[in-house]
Amino acid sequence: MTTTLITGGTVVNSTGRVLADVLIDGEQIAAILPPGSTLLGTDLTASVDQVIDATGKYVIPGGIDPHTHMEMPFGGTFASDTFETGTIAAAWGGTTTIVDFVVQYAGEDPLTQYALWQDKAAGTCAIDYGFHQILSDVQPASLDAMDTLVGEGVTSFKLFMAYKGVLLSDDGQILTAMQKAADNGATIMMHAENGSWIDTVVQQLLAEGKTDPVYHGISRPWQAEEEATHRAIMLADYTKAPLYIVHVSAKQAVAQIAGARDNGLNVFGETCPQYLYMSLEEQLGAPGFEGAKYVCSTPLRARAENHQDMLWQALRTNDLQLVSTDHCPFCLNQKDMGRGNFAKIPNGIGQVEHRVDLLYQGVVTGQISLERWVELISVTPARMFGMYGKKGVLAPGADADVVVYDPNGHTSIGLGKTHHMNMDYSAWEGFEVDGHVDTVISRGSVIVDGGQFLGRAGHGRFIRRDLSQYLI
């Protein structure tokens, strides 16, 4: 078993920061020690297999991205990252755990789909991974499957209020799934947009000849997000199910979540990096077909409507609890499927590699504290999805998932392929960010260091998750 000592860094957890050395023994953290600690009078550095000098750097728990879609069959094609390429890219960006989604389309058997996804991921992931399960048409067999899956460590289920005929569950189906979740303790994750409303506006816009990517955003107004968020909360209140709203982009949806939390409901929310930085006017409305790169749902919102300040505020004050990527990458030829019809552009942005850096900019600009950054990218995802203790913390006994982050480093998400995702562009091309992921350790193995990937496909293990650690 390899022993590693990370020396001289500032160890940051959500509860504070301290100058300390981190001792790793095999796959776990053995101790957090005062800098320069000795063992029986001998310098510890002499008795370990490897020493990583983190002087002047932050030592943080590995990033946890609880919302990715590797190889997702969607929009008539597949998300372009495989479990292998996507987890390698995640590692480059300081993420050591993902939670991906098993997809069950209408008519498919949830447990068969679960087995398929287990097969896809087995032996291919470079970092640890868990699964949520998407349910579309919630049938009696789906409700039974929810109990089985919770027993397997799949303790959260995503439902869609949009994508009629593809993924949408109607309110009655949502109700029954929530009743089951209230009973077995699972968390319901909700894609909260009013699908029928959106589908009608899409048809109206297309009939008027409005086919450019920007109309994707115009067809999915904040009112359709607020309404669905409110409806989901009412269903959760009635059924007493824990509810987690995914990819929140509208300030009005944030207000719904905040109100529900103030009323004592187990309602939670995430946002994603694009909603914090990008806009409908600039990116989605870029000339020609360029906006297709930024087509995702919920959509980018109008800067003029001032959603971003509210999202940052909510991240600071815990009205929103974490930041995921909703990583759903498509190459340019896949986005081309929607030339002449924005509704056919595959929905999704690939960004699993960029989340840790992009959120660090909130620290640089003073919008969040260093500790809150760690909480948003690692600690809360671990707690929310039943992994905390093993993941999401630097403490003795935790998995040695560690990132050495250089606040004085710089990351250029340059033009061209400077990233490692299986995409021929990045929506973040041209973004210059302060900070740099220097070293990434997954369960005691150094998988990224000195600008090199040192890990391997198959190193990642499936995580059987507990129920959310936010529930009593």
The distance of closest approach from Cβ of residue 422 to ligand DUC in the complex, given in angstroms and rounded to an integer, is 16
The distance of closest approach from Cβ of residue 175 to ligand DUC in the complex, given in angstroms and rounded to an integer, is 21
The distance of closest approach from Cβ of residue 89 to ligand DUC in the complex, given in angstroms and rounded to an integer, is 17
DSSP-derived letter for residue 302 is P
The distance of closest approach from Cβ of residue 328 to ligand DUC in the complex, given in angstroms and rounded to an integer, is 4
Contact (Cβ atoms closer than 8 angstroms) between residue 364 and residue 58? no
Question: Is 326 a binder of ligand DUC (CB under 6 A)?
Answer: yes
Exactly one of 326, 375, 401, 438 binds Zn ion (CB under 5 A); that residue is: 326
Cβ-in-10-Å burial (0-12, 13-18, 19+) of 468 comes to: buried
Question: Is 347 a binder of ligand DUC (CB under 6 A)?
Answer: yes
Euclidean distance between CA atoms 270 and 315, whole angstroms: 9
Cβ-in-10-Å burial (0-12, 13-18, 19+) of 45 comes to: middle
234-273 mask for ligand DUC (x: CB under 6 A)?
----------------------------------------
Q: Which residue is nearest to ligand DUC (CB)?
A: 296
Cβ-in-10-Å burial (0-12, 13-18, 19+) of 61 comes to: buried
- Angstrom CA distances, 164 to 167, 208, 243, 299, stand at 6, 22, 21, 17
Query: Residue 260: in which H helix or E strand, if any?
Result: helix 251-262
Considering CB distances under 5 to 8 angstroms, the limit depending on partner class, which of Zn ion, ligand DUC, none binds residue 372?
none
3-state secondary structure of 437: strand
Query: Residue 6: in which H helix or E strand, if any?
Result: strand 3-13
Number of residues that bind ligand DUC (CB under 6 A): 9
Question: Is 230 a binder of Zn ion (CB under 5 A)?
Answer: no
Exactly one of 57, 132, 180, 191 binds Zn ion (CB under 5 A); that residue is: 191
Exactly one of 329, 348, 392, 455 binds ligand DUC (CB under 6 A); that residue is: 348
Exactly one of 169, 297, 324, 422 binds ligand DUC (CB under 6 A); that residue is: 297
Comparison of 224 and 328: residue with beta carbon closer to ligand DUC: 328
**Strands 16-25 and 28-33: what pairing?**
antiparallel
Considering only residues 43-102, where is the footprint of ligand DUC by CB under 6 A?
Answer: 69, 74
Exactly one of 67, 132, 191, 261 binds ligand DUC (CB under 6 A); that residue is: 191
Q: Which residues bind Zn ion (CB under 5 A)?
A: 191, 326
